[in-house]
């Protein structure tokens, strides 16, 4: 990496060197099966947000299988941050009132200007002496000159951007420093995010960082990541900007994708079961229709430490109702952090929400609802179907991961979507 790159970003964010601890950087171990990692990146990106920077941590098995570890990590940075900072620059240059009026009146033209910047920002490098040349919409030039009876260059000469921007006919030429100012916050946020990420015990074991997403094409951002993390093994897949799209297509067309997810916790529901005097405390006993039941029993459907394929359905549990006038069923969903917990009221078992199932009118007064669960990337989906009905009720709940302190000598990859 060139010395100029380091000096430039040290000026923008001089404290960055203090935040990046060499002892916390990722391992430089070689990855023997890059093809699997690339496939992993494509698939992992399917479950990442389309905005900002997101991360998936995955283990590559000896058989080529992929296990994702729930991290729920991300930050509002990356390409969208640069776009928003360009919009702030536009408003700062033309003034809030004029810029707001123009954007509302000429939405399509402003989108064209943003698209123009989108193309130029990917080509911008710190090694170049130039910044970016943007072709201004004709509607912008006409509206400004008609309102203020002067050229845009007069505006620039009377602003903080004098000497940094030049208006040349229909073009706005931004020098290198203006582009660095626009990129600076995104790079600062991305590097800070990665610095915190590398302190995670599970991520420390990663053999590589795989860069995917559209902003990988930016030499500024990908170069900054490599500069501040020189001891990390960075892998960029071909056509990285298409990884998010391809991940969805691959999973959609694969009837049985070899892509699993290891749950940190157990997930289940609270329910009543027939009372057992030998195992159930008397304080949990209640009577319904002359039958003794035990309440608040935790019934797990997803088990901690077990690997599940994405979308794989758990076993089902059937809840039977006896009240003839009951119109809906509220099923409490719990997360279990202690394998020894038996009841939902015990320490270590916490509610995360409820699945509400609307019940159909029934003549005989009895009903049964089948409950199943599945893991989808970073969320738990709970499904309820009333017996005899084709309608299914779904509810999604975010997973609740915790940092792992396990030491495993396995192949790990952190998939970073920029």
- Lowest mean pLDDT across 238-252, 322-336, 380-394: 238-252
Query: Does pLDDT of 130 surpass 70?
Result: yes
Please give the structure tokens belonging to residue 104. Answer: 């509302």
Scanning 95-175, the segments in alpha helix (DSSP H) are 96-105, 107-123, 138-148, 152-157
CA distances from 283 to 275, 342, 346, 372 (A): 11, 14, 13, 29
Pairing of strands 66-75, 259-262: parallel
pLDDT band per the 50, 70, 90 thresholds, residue 21:
very low
**Could you tell me which residue, 232 or 357, shows the higher pLDDT?**
357
pLDDT band per the 50, 70, 90 thresholds, residue 256:
low
Query: Does pLDDT of 378 surpass 60?
Result: yes
The candidate with the shortest Cα–Cα distance to 411, out of 24, 37, 23, 22, is: 37
pLDDT given for residue 221 in this prediction: 77
User: For residues 361-395, b (16+ Cβ closer than 10 Å) or e, as one string?
Assistant: eeeeeebebbbbbbbebbebbbbbbbeeeeeebeb
The candidate with the shortest Cα–Cα distance to 9, out of 164, 183, 208, is: 183
- The residues near 273 (Cβ < 8 Å, ≥ 6 apart) are 293, 294, 297
The full set of domains in the chain, from first to last, is: 3-78+183-260+407-417 (no CATH), 79-182 (no CATH), 265-398 (2.60.34.10)
Which percentage of the chain shows pLDDT scores above 70? 72
Cα(272)–Cα(323) distance, integer angstroms:
15
Region 344-363 average pLDDT: 86
Region 126-132 average pLDDT: 79
pLDDT given for residue 202 in this prediction: 66
The answer to whether the CB of 252 falls within 8 A of the CB of 215 is no
The answer to whether the CB of 68 falls within 8 A of the CB of 44 is yes
Query: Ranked by mean pLDDT, which of 13-27, 308-322, 346-360 comes out on top?
Result: 346-360
pLDDT band per the 50, 70, 90 thresholds, residue 43:
very low
Average pLDDT value over all residues in the chain:
76
- CA 345 from chain centre, in angstroms, equals 32
Query: Residues 280-327: pLDDT tens digits?
Result: 999 999 988 788 999 999 999 999 888 888 778 899 998 887 676 778
Cα(220)–Cα(5) distance, integer angstroms:
9
pLDDT band per the 50, 70, 90 thresholds, residue 263:
confident
Please give the structure tokens belonging to residue 357. Answer: 């199932």
What is the residue-wise DSSP string for 342-379? -BTTSTTEEEEEEEEEEPPP-SSS-EEEEEEEEEETTE
Query: Residues 139-169: pLDDT tens digits?
Result: 999 999 999 999 999 999 999 999 999 998 7
Cα(26)–Cα(4) distance, integer angstroms:
25
Please give the structure tokens belonging to residue 150. Answer: 């002067």
The candidate with the shortest Cα–Cα distance to 41, out of 256, 229, 236, is: 236
Query: Does pLDDT of 176 surpass 60?
Result: yes
């Amino acid at each position: 990496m060139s010395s100029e790159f380091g000096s430039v970003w040290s000026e923008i964010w001089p404290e960055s060197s203090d935040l990046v601890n060499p002892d916390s950087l990722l391992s430089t171990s070689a990855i023997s099966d890059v093809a699997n990692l690339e496939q992993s990146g494509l698939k992992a990106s399917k479950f990442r947000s389309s905005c900002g920077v997101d991360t998936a941590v995955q283990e590559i098995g000896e058989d080529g299988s992929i296990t994702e570890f729930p991290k729920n990590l991300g930050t509002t940075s990356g390409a969208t941050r640069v776009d928003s900072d360009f919009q702030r620059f536009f408003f700062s240059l033309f003034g809030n009132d004029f810029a707001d009026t123009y954007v509302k009146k000429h939405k399509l033209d402003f989108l064209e200007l943003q698209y123009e910047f989108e193309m130029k920002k990917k080509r911008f490098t710190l090694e170049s002496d130039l910044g970016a040349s943007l072709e201004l919409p004709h509607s912008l030039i006409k509206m400004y000159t008609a309102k203020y009876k002067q050229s845009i260059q007069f505006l620039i000469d009377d602003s903080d951007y004098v000497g940094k921007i030049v208006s040349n006919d229909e073009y706005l030429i931004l020098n290198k420093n203006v582009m660095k100012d626009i990129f600076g916050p995104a790079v600062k946020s991305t590097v800070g995010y990665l610095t915190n990420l590398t302190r995670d015990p599970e991520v420390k074991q990663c053999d590589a960082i795989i860069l995917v997403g559209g902003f990988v094409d930016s030499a500024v951002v990908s170069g900054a990541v490599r500069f501040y993390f020189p001891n990390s093994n960075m892998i960029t897949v071909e056509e990285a900007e298409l990884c998010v799209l391809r991940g969805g297509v691959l999973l959609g067309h694969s009837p049985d994708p070899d892509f699993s997810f290891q749950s940190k916790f157990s997930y289940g529901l609270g329910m009543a079961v027939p009372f057992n005097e030998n195992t159930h405390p008397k304080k949990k006993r209640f009577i319904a229709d002359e039958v003794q039941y035990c309440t608040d029993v935790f019934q797990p459907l997803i088990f901690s430490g077990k690997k599940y394929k994405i979308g794989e359905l758990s076993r089902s549990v059937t809840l039977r109702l006896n009240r003839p006038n009951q119109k809906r069923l509220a099923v409490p969903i719990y997360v279990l952090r202690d394998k020894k917990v038996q009841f939902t009221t015990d320490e270590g078992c916490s509610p995360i929400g409820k699945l509400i199932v609307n019940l159909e009118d029934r003549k005989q007064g009895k009903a049964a609802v089948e409950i199943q669960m599945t893991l989808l990337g970073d969320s738990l989906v709970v499904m309820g179907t009333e017996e005899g009905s084709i309608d299914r009720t779904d509810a999604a709940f975010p997973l609740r991961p915790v940092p792992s302190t396990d030491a495993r000598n396995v192949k790990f990859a952190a998939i970073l979507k920029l």
